[in-house]
Amino acid sequence: MKPQDGNNSHVSNTENFFGGNETGKPIKQETDNGIQEDMNTRNDANSGNSIPTITDTTTPIVLFVGPGSSGKSMILVSLAKYFYSKNYKIAPNENFYSTSQYKADCKEFNNRYNADKGKALAGTSGFLLVDVYQGSQKKLQMLEAPGEDYIKFNNPTAPIPQYLANILAAPNKKIWVMLLDLHSEFDLASDNAKRLIYTQKLTDYYEGYVNRDRDAVILLYNQIDAHNPKFGTYLKISNFAGAEAFAKEMYPNIFSSFVKRPFAGLFGSFPNFKFHVYCTGFYGENKEYTACDSVYPSKLYQEIVRRW
Ligand SMILES: Nc1nc2c(ncn2[C@@H]2O[C@H](COP(=O)(O)OP(=O)(O)OP(=O)(O)O)[C@@H](O)[C@H]2O)c(=O)[nH]1
Ligand SMILES: [Mg+2]
């Protein structure tokens, strides 16, 4: 989904900051005009960054890669809540993008964050760059971007938007959180064709941007609560090994592709990723949200800080 800026007419009037509509279900739209769409319709800024831009080229960046509505925003906010509990300071980076929509989203994030201390933080439906501070030192930047900028199932080879290409080319260490997204509305667990498209986007495209010596890759089986028989609920992980085996069965090429060979030309390789599971919370009938147990963000948090 896209932010409501300019003439972005495909965004429903009922869409809210949570990335959903009044019925609570996110509205998923795909466009396929890549860079032009990004530059022409999102920019209502007169000054500042006319496309989303990370100006800090040294602090590590956490990227949440996944299709629209796969759960990226909610992972970011549940992580933000956890960072807060660990006494890190969290602040949306207001200079990242100059649109009025972006400024409003930053304000909304701040308001909710400060009012609620993360009890029921909302996600955005567009962009958010969140800075994480330990004391006065910036340790991390977490990027939330619209899923369709990462993958368009109706046009998977479309170029990624220019802003994203710039971020991928930036010298910062990247912590790639790649969502396996098996159970969102695209239902990649039962749609073999789409799952293959997504596999190829990760292995043939994004893997090319992973710097194996600098970056970290986390393959995240998110929304595991949506699997039946269950591997976990929002309160606990019930069957990690089962979840991992299922994810491997669904994505054999991803698990075999993200490997590192210690010495060129020699046989043998080892995984160049960490596998984790995630559930952001419980979503009631009317999408009322109850945050997940800290077991999920704490494991992801440990993985991220281990590598920053
Ligand atoms: N069951 C379940 N549903 C989830 C979970 N996380 C997110 N959802 C559902 O997925 C919806 C979309 O989540 P978002 O975090 O907004 O998705 P997104 O990837 O940021 O989507 P875009 O911003 O459109 O790319 C939420 O409104 C929830 O309904 C989860 O862990 N379990
Ligand atoms: Mg989002």
pLDDT for 148-198, tens place per residue? 999 999 999 999 999 999 999 999 999 999 999 999 988 999 999 999 999
Other CB atoms within 10 A of residue 14 CB? 10
pLDDT at 289: 81
Residue to mutate (ligand 1; options 74, 124, 198, 224; most atoms within 8 A of CB): 74
Question: Considering only CA atoms, which residue is closest to atom 32 of ligand 1?
Answer: 223
Ligand 1 center to 235 CA (angstroms) = 17
Contact present, 221 and 244 (Cβ < 8 Å): yes
In a domain, 182, yes or no: yes
Ligand 1 center to 72 CA (angstroms) = 7
C-alpha to C-alpha distance for 76 and 79, rounded to whole angstroms: 5
In a domain, 9, yes or no: no
Domain with 244, as residue range(s), is: 34-306
What single letter denotes the amino acid at residue 103? K
In a domain, 250, yes or no: yes
In a domain, 77, yes or no: yes
| pTM for the predicted model, two decimal places | 0.85
- Is pLDDT at 8 greater than 50 in this prediction? no
Nearest to 224 by CA among 187, 183, 284, 285: 183
E strand or H helix at 245: helix 240-250
| Residues 267-277 pLDDT 10s | 677 788 999 99
pLDDT at 17: 28
In a domain, 3, yes or no: no
Tally of structural domains, the chain: 1
DSSP 244: H
Query: Which of 98-102, 112-116, 251-255, 258-262 is the least confident region?
Result: 112-116
Please tell me whether the peptide bond between 26 and the residue prior to it is cis, using omega within 30 degrees of 0: no
pLDDT at 27: 36
Q: Which ligand 1 atom minimizes the distance to the CA of 18?
A: 16
Provide the token pair at 188.
Answer: 């990649």
Q: Which ligand 1 atom minimizes the distance to the CA of 280?
A: 31
C-alpha to C-alpha distance for 306 and 304, rounded to whole angstroms: 5
In a domain, 142, yes or no: yes
- Domain containing residue 287: CATH number: 3.40.50.300
Q: What integer is the mean pLDDT of 43-72?
A: 87
Q: What integer is the mean pLDDT of 84-90?
A: 89
Q: Which ligand 1 atom minimizes the distance to the CA of 77?
A: 15
E strand or H helix at 179: strand 174-179
C-alpha to C-alpha distance for 155 and 296, rounded to whole angstroms: 33
Residue to mutate (ligand 1; options 283, 290, 295, 300; most atoms within 8 A of CB): 283
In a domain, 245, yes or no: yes
pLDDT at 78: 87
Query: Which of 20-29, 205-214, 267-276 is the least confident region?
Result: 20-29
Residues 6 or more apart in contact with residue 186 via CB below 8 angstroms? 67, 69, 70, 153, 194
- Is pLDDT at 99 greater than 70 in this prediction? yes
Task: Decide: 78 in ligand 1 pocket, CB within 6 A.
Answer: no
- Is pLDDT at 119 greater than 80 in this prediction? no
Nearest to 27 by CA among 42, 36, 16: 16
Q: What integer is the mean pLDDT of 9-21?
A: 28
- Is pLDDT at 72 greater than 80 in this prediction? yes
In a domain, 106, yes or no: yes
Query: Which of 63-72, 113-122, 283-292 is the least confident region?
Result: 113-122
Task: Decide: 164 in ligand 1 pocket, CB within 6 A.
Answer: no
- Is pLDDT at 3 greater than 60 in this prediction? no
